[in-house]
Structure 1
Amino acid sequence: MSDVSRSPSSVVEDELRLPRPPGVIRRFWSRHHVLADVLIAFVCLVFSLVPATTIGTDAGGADPVARAWASAVITATVVAACVLLVWRRRWPTAVFVASLVAATAYLLSPVAVGGPLLLVTSYTLAVYRSTRACVVGLIIGLTTLTTVAIGLSATGTISVAVAANAVVGEAILALIGALIGVNVGNRKRYLEAIIARSRQLLVERDQQAQLAAVAERARIAREMHDVVSHSLTVIVALADGATATEDRDRARAASGQAAATARAALHEMRAMLGVLRDETAAPDAPLTPVDDDTVPDAVAAARRAGFPVSLHIRGDASAAPRPVRLAVARIVQEGLTNAMRHSPYASTIDVTITATPAQITVDVVNDGALAAAEPDAAIAGYGLRGLRERIDHVGGVLQAGPEGDGRWRVHATLPMTDAREDS
């Protein structure tokens, strides 16, 4: 019962094994980090000033004037370092240097005293800068502190025991703060890297979705052009023939053929739109069925429109993959459409399909081309442009252009295997 009543979001979190969100206290301090830094500075000030104020009342036999001067210097240094703690997240290096100066000032005391400043600032340096910066800072800082302590003890300003205790105490606090800071800082930077990577993946996903949508729109437009352009060209030719003839029987037959062509185009459009609505279809699935050989249908439609089309098939192209067979059908369809549209007085339109074990060659040649354009201009048309994209998709090569004497040729070479399967 408990598993059934759980919300979908909790189930997803369990599957992803996401960490638990921070508690109320951690969320409060993360939203009020300035208040947290002020409290930390205040606590450090209290624990650092207490040793400084006890120097003046020390009964160790030291000169009272020297103790007063030491107490004043330590107090001023500690107060300045604690005030800087309020901006420790912004200036971690400066705060660490200030705490190191305060630790050096503690050496002026005739007794071993110290405070938690190096503990806090070494932690801050590791979290808000880097582990390398923290290690370098500790090496330089502790080396400097040790050198000053040795110098003061050599001159007799402080005893060797006081110098050793002060250096060891500050080193232990600094190392503890550094170890904790390195752990917290590495986790913080790791989470920031994960979040940054997640945001980058979201941006890339949106970009891929946009590119896929653009490619899908281009693919749909190409299919729509192939279906509509060829059918409408045949219908227009049949309608012109029915209008031009005075024989009612021939006009009636032409009108019937135009209606049959329109119905076939409508059926093909519905089949294509059905695939578009099918959510289970693959993204790169062909939008029209290719089980049936549409090449004879395209040739028959052009013949019904009154164009002298001859079809020659050499070899067996049925072993080719579906995308290749669909490309062959579209090449023939587009070649016949261009011939009917731009060569209305053509005397011959030859369609030749040659299949070998390695490749399929398609040739659509017609005469009677009117004002033959340059090859680049022809390929710039929507039909041939879409045809070139389709052939490039299966790894083929398309050539289209005039051959002289008013002849126009569409020549395509396609591999017998789909290029996408080879890759």
Structure 2
Amino acid sequence: MTSDSRSSSLRTDDELRLPRPPGVFRRFWARHPLVADIVIAGVCLLLSFVPAGALSRADDGAIFGPAGTWVVIVLLALACVSLVVRRRWPLVPFVAALVVAHAYLIAPVPLGGPLLLFATYAVAVYRSTRAAIIGLVVGLAALAALATTLMLVGAVPTQLAWNAVVAEAVTGVIGGLIGANVGNRRRYIDAVIARSRQLLVERDQQARIAAVEERARIARELHDIVSHSLTVVVALAEGASATPDRDRARAATDQVAATARSALTEMRAMLGVLRDADSAHTPLAPVDADAVATAVAAARGAGFPVTVRTSGRIDAPMPVLLAVGRIVQEGLTNAMRHAPDATRIDVAVDMTDAGVVVQVRNDGVRGPRRAGGYGIRGLQERVDHVCGTLEAGPTADGWILRAELPIATREDDA
């Protein structure tokens, strides 16, 4: 795990604000798991060796003699020590406990202990309840088979064999039930915490995505306002400097000032929407009631031959009206910038009940589409926002920008 991921995980855990575990001893064991495992192993070893002390007085009665008794003692000690690794490898002490349970059958006296209880509990908590059930059933079945075999050959008294099997079964079932309860609760809490961490990460990702989308939206609006207005201003300024007529130059200069003021007003309105906390999801609409007429008037004032044709009257949603105005504005801006020799620029806006079709055509651009601009890209994003389609490219007699915008948008559906 890298330092960045660790710091991110720590920040996430801090934001979760999880309560502290209740109880002083529980918090101590949670902070020192190895100490808890050593204590449990020691308690198990003590409780198991107290009854095993009877073996020293009955060595001659063991199935394999004194050597068999020592085998039982060694296996018992190793199995208890294996409880130290019960969190990482819970099956190790469980298998060791089953081996000790089988070894108890060769002892000359009845033996038992809490070893299988602790081992089954560990499997249920740190592995799964299903693993504890399967392991316990298989282990007890093997123990019962061995006990039956020893009884049939007369090596072990019947009462001692069945007492050993029943005692281990009861011990294992109790440990499994307690472990299943604790383990299921532990896994549930871990799943809730993991889900909470995931939700926090997703929240941060959504915030970053929203910030990127908002920056793109602001960039589109700034491009539309600044690009169109500056294009008109440049055209008017060039015309004013080229004409010897003082009155025409003065009129062009006045129109430059009017265009600049209009752009400034629109930018102030846009920034006002951005600063308004209640308008976080409000489309950034132009100030002009009729953005199409304003864009056409500005282009005509700059000396470009613009014709307009509109058909139909319908109340479209604000995002669609905004997209129509920006499409016409961008189409005229591109024509003024890239087609200064155009003899005609045709704007057509057809409105029906199904949607709006916007076309801006000029005869001054030839050749393929040039890459590198942000205007068409911004229009494509705007048209996608209202579920429309956009086409831009050369025609037989010039260049066309065409968009189809449906009336029903995603915002209306929402």
Using the size of structure 1 for normalisation, the TM-score is 0.89
Query: 1:81-124 CA distances to partner (integer Å, 9 max, x unpaired)?
Result: 11111112222112111111111121122332211100100101
Give runs of aligned pairs for residues 203-242 of structure 1, distance below 5 A.
Answer: 203-242=201-240
Give runs of aligned pairs for residues 211-360 of structure 1, distance below 5 A.
Answer: 211-283=209-281, 285-289=282-286, 292-317=289-314, 319-360=315-356
**Letter paired with 1:77:** L
Give runs of aligned pairs for residues 412-423 of structure 1, distance below 5 A.
Answer: 412-422=403-413
Q: Which residue of 2 aligns with 1:403?
A: 395
Q: Is the 8 A contact 1:126 1:181 kept in 2?
A: yes
SS at 1:56 equivalent: helix
Query: 1:226-271 CA distances to partner (integer Å, 9 max, x unpaired)?
Result: 0111100111111111101112221111111101110110010011
**Letter paired with 1:240:** E
- Does residue 186 of structure 2 align to residue 192 of structure 1? no
**Letter paired with 1:50:** V
Mapped partners of 2:288, 2:65: distance in 1: 102
Q: Is the 8 A contact 2:72 2:103 kept in 1?
A: yes
Which segment drifts farther, 82-91 or 249-258?
82-91
The runs of 5 or more residues in structure 2 that have no matched partner are 1-15
Cα gap change, 1:191 to 1:414, in 2 (>3 Å): same
- Does residue 357 of structure 2 align to residue 361 of structure 1? yes
Q: Which residue of 2 aligns with 1:391?
A: 383
Mapped partners of 1:69, 1:398: distance in 2: 91
Mapped partners of 2:345, 2:64: distance in 1: 115
The runs of 5 or more residues in structure 1 that have no matched partner are 1-15
Cα gap change, 1:64 to 1:349, in 2 (>3 Å): closer
Mapped partners of 2:75, 2:262: distance in 1: 93
Report the count of equivalent residues.
399
Give the drift of 1:172.
0.4
- Does residue 71 of structure 2 align to residue 73 of structure 1? yes
**Letter paired with 1:152:** L
Q: Which residue of 1 aligns with 2:28?
A: 28
**Letter paired with 1:43:** V
Q: Which residue of 2 aligns with 1:83?
A: 81
Q: Which residue of 2 aligns with 1:6?
A: none
Aligned CA-pair RMSD: 2.2
Mapped partners of 1:175, 1:246: distance in 2: 106
Give the drift of 1:65.
9.7
Give the drift of 1:58.
5.5
Which segment drifts farther, 263-272 or 32-41?
32-41
Q: Is the 8 A contact 1:55 1:68 kept in 2?
A: no
Cα gap change, 1:329 to 1:54, in 2 (>3 Å): same
Mapped partners of 1:400, 1:289: distance in 2: 23
Q: Is the 8 A contact 1:81 1:95 kept in 2?
A: yes
Q: Which residue of 2 aligns with 1:40?
A: 40
**Letter paired with 1:245:** T
Using the size of structure 2 for normalisation, the TM-score is 0.91
Mapped partners of 2:347, 2:306: distance in 1: 7
